[in-house]
């Protein structure tokens, strides 16, 4: 865990004292995730014969909506848990990813209609970009110590020692934990490989997008059992069973995919390629 890349001491500029200035690892990796996502979105758009510039612009809008939505859901979860509002804590946190995903849907729908892009084909181009960004972004979570796992006795358990991370995001120190951030990063990389394999041979528009939603939801549902941070919020299902907010959203999304696939297979079928003469 290395939440700070470096800190510059205070310095004078035009008669004013500035600093100290800290460059956080999470912010750097979030920027890297954004740039990698833009590159992947443009690449997938060109391969699909779409307007790469429009799709890249859409990726920017989706990212902004995702950042805002992730933090809004975090505020809602904290409110349900009776936690006081902490502005700087919200800013420094990555938020709840599903909040970002939900917020991104209406923004993407508006943009696609505004510029008359093929909706499901565009979603297929964006899905690999989103999951690549997640894979990199979770490394930022690992560096910051947020989204940490519960205590573990496995050979690959990770112990965090940075007091700054404990103070800012509540990471337990000197305790072996499941590296859930790495679990999710690896899961996202595996999903990326699957999506890029599906894309060139998809049978209907939207297949890549719904495959992403399904695969990520399943992976996130499982990984949640290894999470140890309590800020996620829990919803009681029975007297003896509670699910995290993310697990409930994952179940809803899996159900949505199951309902959407038959419709997409009928209405968005990809015409088979004409054999060369």
Residue in the block written with tokens 């940075």: 162
Which are the contacts of 260, defined by CB distance < 8 A and separation ≥ 6? 206, 210
Look at phi and psi of residue 96 and say left if phi exceeds 0, alpha if psi is from -120 to 50, else beta: beta
Token pair belonging to 129? 């970009």
pLDDT in tens, the chain (277 residues): 676 766 766 666 666 766 666 777 888 888 898 899 999 999 999 999 999 999 999 988 888 887 777 767 666 655 555 555 444 444 455 556 667 777 888 888 899 999 999 999 999 999 999 999 999 989 988 988 888 999 999 999 999 988 877 777 778 899 999 999 999 999 999 999 999 999 999 999 999 999 999 999 999 999 999 998 876 677 888 877 888 888 998 999 999 999 999 999 999 998 765 444 4
Predicted pLDDT at 277: 42
- Quote the pTM value: 0.83
CA quadruple 145, 148, 150, 154: dihedral, nearest 10: -80
66 exposed, middle or buried (CB, 10 Å; 0-12, 13-18, 19+)? buried
> Strands (DSSP E) along the chain, which ranges?
4-8, 11-13, 16-18, 21-24, 234-236, 242-244
Predicted pLDDT at 271: 73
144 exposed, middle or buried (CB, 10 Å; 0-12, 13-18, 19+)? buried
- Strand 4-8 and strand 234-236: pairing? unpaired
- CA 229 to CA 69: how far, in whole Å? 20
Residue in the block written with tokens 């690449």: 43
User: Nearest-5° angle of CA 226, CA 190, CA 217?
Assistant: 50
Check: CB of residue 3 under 8 Å from CB of residue 145.
yes
Token pair belonging to 120? 């499901």
Predicted pLDDT at 94: 52
In order of 28, 83, 114, 144, the CA distances from 169 in angstroms are 18, 14, 39, 8
For residue 55, the Cα-to-chain-centroid distance in whole angstroms is 19
Predicted pLDDT at 71: 66
């Amino acid at each position: 865990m290395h939440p700070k890349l470096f800190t510059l001491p205070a310095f004078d500029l035009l008669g004013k004292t500035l600093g100290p200035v800290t460059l956080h690892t999470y912010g750097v990796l979030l920027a890297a995730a954004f740039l990698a996502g833009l590159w992947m979105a443009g690449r997938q758009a060109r391969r699909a014969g779409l307007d790469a510039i429009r799709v890249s612009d859409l990726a920017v809008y989706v990212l902004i909506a995702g950042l805002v939505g992730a933090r809004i859901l975090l505020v809602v979860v904290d409110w349900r848990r009776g936690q006081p509002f902490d502005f700087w804590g919200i800013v420094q946190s990555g938020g709840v990813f599903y909040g970002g995903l939900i917020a991104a849907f209406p923004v993407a729908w508006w943009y696609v209609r505004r510029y008359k892009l093929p909706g499901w084909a565009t979603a297929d181009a964006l899905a690999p970009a989103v999951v690549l960004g997640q894979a990199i972004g979770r490394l930022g979570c690992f560096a910051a110590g947020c989204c940490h796992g519960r205590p573990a006795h496995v050979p690959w358990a990770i112990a965090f020692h940075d007091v700054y991370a404990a103070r800012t995001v509540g990471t337990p120190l000197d305790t072996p934990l499941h590296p859930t951030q790495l679990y999710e990063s690896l899961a996202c990389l595996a999903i990326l490989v699957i999506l890029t394999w599906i894309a060139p041979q998809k049978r209907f528009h939207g297949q890549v997008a719904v495959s992403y939603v399904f695969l990520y939801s399943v992976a996130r549902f499982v990984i949640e059992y290894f999470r140890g941070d309590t800020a996620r919020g829990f919803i009681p299902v029975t007297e003896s069973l509670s699910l995290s907010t993310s697990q409930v959203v994952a179940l809803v999304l899996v159900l949505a995919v199951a309902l959407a696939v038959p419709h997409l297979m009928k209405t968005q079928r990809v015409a088979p390629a004409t054999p060369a003469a």
